[in-house]
């Protein structure tokens, strides 16, 4: 009797402690007619009535629908406060494995929930799972993010090796490998290892959302993208109710220059994200909608469909409130106007760009803010306005220093590439061609040595493509053609890369290559070039060269 009373008191204390944690509760918001997020089956020693909700939480977690996943796990905790894995689920929902989050609220929440979970009666497996995610939250006040992610990966490997029949342990270990990958490692050691593990599982579980999702993330690089194409074409069917699952295949379509598939993917994604956003906050826009919009604009620009790209920009300008305010929102808000101006070589527009009126603290996002100031600098120098270009360049140096002080080497390097590019064009404007070329080649090599961040469909202007532009401006078409062709290996079917290669080939009298590239340009822009109102002069130029083809 005393034991029973003690257990009841302990449970009451746990429930009281949970009430002090700011957990996400309420109805689980699902969009789309199917409400399908894939098939998972997680071994669970909790109330059987909670199994369906728990598996839904796992499915949502695998498609990065983090808030709704947390709601699902909290619902399980309410049904069965002794279900240790529900606490684990909440901690996992607050750990966004592939994103660097801001603030510490999510860390405080995860640490508190895990502390409560350790007061429960735990099986050995439950303890091991809790220890693995606990390695990420442990001593977060004094330990950097990279170290904590590495600790999670090491602990998750122990779980994976100890419970070899536990497929979810295998999948979460594969995710941990991806999360801890070194962005400077161009051998993609972790990504390849994770991909191999997941591909073996995919044969057994073809409708599992996490397996498909993480394969795509592992191969979201120019050198590896082809490996993920079959999976990319499956993921949206596996989890049709997930905005992120609709979007994620476009990472691979973008890497391979499959623009129509990228557009289809992101139109579906943004529609689903809009549905979700309106359900949560009718006055705001969900970050997943903005993320899809950036990829959509990028694809439209490569197809020469300026009007559709501009429609997205005008829509973006109507946004006032977004949620959550994070790096994805900041990136899209800065990248869309920069892309439209720079891709169209509208230097006047680029030089005068302003950030959309979204309610957010831009000082928290120096890398993203740098995109806009890079565009302004590029516009200014291409107009011959060296004073304004130098002003914008000084701001880029400031952003670079901020990121160094934050110990964010990756983003600091992204800004440094932009700095080198602007310095190159300033030197060219000063008549110092050798110095300009050296700086531009250095920027290209830096970019080629850096893995693409998953937030972006691609650089607002690739350094390799800009090297081709610089060489053309120096009247070196042979070298320019080589630069464009090299960059097209990394950025296939890019409008300006294809056009640049065609112009360079024409300049050196290589009619065969000029024909091929101009024909490719017309093929990529077949929807735009059938429109007599198309404002891409490059399309008209291609038609004229090919004799009105």
Residues 248 and 228 sit within 8 Å (Cβ to Cβ): no
Instruction: Give the whole-angstrom CA distance, residue 514 versus residue 532.
Output: 23
For the chain, helix (H) and strand (E) counts, in that order, are 28, 2
For residue range 513-531, list pLDDT tens digits in order.
999 999 999 999 998 866 5
Residue 285: per-residue pLDDT: 96
* Six token digits for residue 448: 């080629």
pLDDT at 1 over 50: no
Give this prediction's pTM: 0.92
Tell me the Ramachandran region of residue 304: left when phi exceeds 0, alpha when psi lies from -120 to 50, beta otherwise.
left
Domain ranges for the chain, please list them. 11-27+38-218
Residue 536: per-residue pLDDT: 93
Instruction: Give the whole-angstrom CA distance, residue 225 versus residue 232.
Output: 10
Confidence of residue 16 (pLDDT cuts 50, 70, 90): low
Taking the CA atoms of residue 360, residue 362, residue 365 and residue 368 in that order, the dihedral angle to the nearest 10 degrees is: 100
Instruction: Give the whole-angstrom CA distance, residue 402 versus residue 408.
Output: 9
pLDDT at 548 over 60: no
Asked if the bond preceding 324 is cis, omega within 30° of 0, the reply is yes
Residue 479: CB atoms within 10 A of its CB come to: 16
Instruction: Give the whole-angstrom CA distance, residue 237 versus residue 13.
Output: 44
Instruction: Give the whole-angstrom CA distance, residue 182 versus residue 188.
Output: 8
pLDDT at 221 over 80: yes
Residues 395 and 354 sit within 8 Å (Cβ to Cβ): no
Looking at mean pLDDT, say which of 182-186, 481-485, 543-547 comes out highest. 481-485
CA distances from 160 to 65, 66, 150, 189 (A): 24, 23, 15, 18
* Six token digits for residue 107: 């860390």
Residue 528: per-residue pLDDT: 86
Mean pLDDT, range 524-541, rounded to an integer: 82
Average pLDDT, the chain: 93
Residue 37: per-residue pLDDT: 87
For residue range 173-209, list pLDDT tens digits in order.
999 999 999 988 889 999 999 999 999 999 999 999 9
pLDDT at 154 over 50: yes
Three-state SS for 47-85 is CHHHHHHHHHHHHHHHCCCHHHHHHHHHHHHHHCCCCHH
Q: 63 Cβ partners below 8 Å, 6+ apart?
A: 37, 38, 209, 210, 213, 239, 242, 244, 245
Confidence of residue 33 (pLDDT cuts 50, 70, 90): low
SS3 assignment, position 202: helix
Residue 30: per-residue pLDDT: 83
pLDDT at 534 over 70: no
Beta bridge partners of 323: 286
Residue 285: CB atoms within 10 A of its CB come to: 24
For residue range 431-481, list pLDDT tens digits in order.
999 999 999 999 999 999 988 888 999 999 999 999 999 999 999 999 999
Residue 451: CB atoms within 10 A of its CB come to: 18
């Amino acid at each position: 009797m005393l034991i029973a009373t003690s257990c009841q008191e302990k449970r009451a204390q746990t429930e009281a402690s949970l009430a002090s944690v700011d957990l996400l509760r309420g109805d689980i918001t699902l969009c789309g007619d199917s409400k399908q997020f894939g098939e998972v089956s997680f071994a669970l020693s909790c109330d059987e009535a909670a199994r369906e909700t728990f598996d839904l939480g796992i499915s949502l977690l695998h498609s990065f629908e983090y808030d709704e996943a947390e709601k699902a796990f909290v619902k399980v905790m309410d049904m069965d406060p002794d279900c240790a894995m529900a606490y684990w689920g909440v901690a996992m929902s607050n750990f966004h494995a592939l994103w660097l989050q801001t603030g510490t609220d999510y860390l405080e929440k995860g640490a508190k929930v895990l502390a409560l979970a350790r007061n429960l009666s735990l099986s050995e497996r439950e303890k091991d799972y809790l220890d693995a995610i606990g390695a990420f939250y442990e001593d977060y006040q004094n330990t950097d993010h990279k170290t904590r992610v590495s600790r999670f990966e090491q602990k998750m490997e122990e779980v994976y090796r100890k419970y070899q029949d536990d497929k979810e342990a295998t999948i979460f270990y594969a995710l941990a490998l991806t999360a801890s990958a070194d962005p400077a490692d161009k051998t993609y050691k972790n990504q390849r290892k994770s991909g191999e593990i997941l591909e073996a599982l995919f044969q057994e579980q073809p409708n599992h959302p996490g397996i498909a999702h993480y394969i795509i993330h592992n191969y979201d690089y120019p050198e590896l993208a082809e490996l993920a194409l079959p999976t990319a074409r499956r993921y949206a069917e596996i989890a049709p109710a997930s905005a992120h699952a609709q979007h994620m295949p476009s990472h691979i379509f973008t890497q391979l220059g499959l623009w129509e598939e990228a557009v289809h993917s992101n139109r579906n994604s943004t529609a689903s994200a809009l549905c979700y956003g309106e359900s949560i906050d009718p006055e705001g826009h969900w970050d997943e909608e903005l993320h899809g919009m950036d990829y959509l604009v990028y694809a439209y620009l490569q197809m020469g469909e300026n009007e559709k790209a501009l429609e997205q920009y005008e829509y973006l300008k109507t946004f006032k409130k977004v949620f959550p305010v994070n790096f994805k929102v900041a990136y899209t808000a800065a990248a869309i106007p920069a892309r439209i101006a720079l891709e169209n070589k509208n230097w006047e527009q680029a030089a005068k760009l302003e950030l959309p009126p979204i309610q957010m603290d831009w000082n928290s996002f120096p890398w993203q803010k740098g995109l806009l100031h890079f565009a302004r600098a590029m516009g200014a120098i291409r107009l011959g306005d060296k004073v304004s270009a130098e002003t914008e360049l000084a701001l880029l140096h400031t952003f670079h220093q901020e990121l160094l002080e934050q110990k964010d080497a990756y983003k600091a390097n992204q800004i440094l590439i932009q700095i080198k590019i602007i310095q190159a064009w300033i030197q060219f404007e000063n008549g110092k061609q050798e110095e300009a070329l050296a700086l531009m080649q250095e920027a290209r090599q830096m970019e080629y040595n850096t893995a693409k961040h998953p937030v972006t469909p691609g650089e607002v202007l690739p350094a390799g493509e800009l090297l081709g532009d610089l060489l053309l401006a120096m009247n070196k078409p042979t070298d320019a053609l080589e630069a464009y062709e090299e960059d097209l290996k990394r950025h296939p079917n890019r409008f300006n890369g294809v056009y640049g290669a065609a112009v360079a080939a024409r300049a050196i009298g290589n009619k065969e290559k000029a024909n091929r590239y101009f024909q490719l340009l017309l093929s990529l822009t077949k929807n735009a070039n059938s429109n007599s109102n198309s404002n891409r002069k490059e399309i008209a130029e291609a038609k004229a060269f090919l004799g009105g083809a």
